[in-house]
Amino acid sequence: MSISKENKEFIDSLIEYYISESESYKQIAENFLPEVESIPDTVFGIITGCVYSGFLQAYQNQQQTPSLEDMNEFNQIIKKKALLIKKSILGPIEIDGVIKERKG
């Protein structure tokens, strides 16, 4: 079994949503200074954790359990999007050809 087209689209939409909201997650992470040593790494963890939670919730809503193959495929999706996620945390991003400015 592999991730269905609908679930892949859902994962992509989650990633886009959390990328667009990365500034909010950056502010949350900043509240934990000095315990948090790297704001960008913390935000990356928050975003990928939220996407992972959404991925699991989608399966639960479908009364399914992701297989090991599904989990590996999910990890590959995140790896392919990792640079885009990191860029969203560090500065302006481009989604579907539109530049979104970050508030400083």
Per-10-residue mean pLDDT, the chain, length 104: 90 96 93 92 96 97 95 97 94 63 46
Q: Which stretch of DSSP H or E encloses residue 100?
A: strand 98-100
pLDDT of residue 42: 96
Domain span at residue 52 reads 5-100
**Structure token digits, residue 82:** 């990792």
CB of 89 closer than 8 Å to CB of 26: yes
> Per residue in 26-60, is it b (16+ CB within 10 Å) or e — as a string?
beebeeeeeeeeebeebbbebbbebbbebbeebbe
pLDDT of residue 97: 66
Determine the Cα–Cα distance for residues 40 and 94; give it in Å rounded to an integer.
18
The residue among 104, 102, 98, 103 whose CA lies nearest residue 87 is 102
CB of 11 closer than 8 Å to CB of 74: yes
Number of domain units in the chain: 1
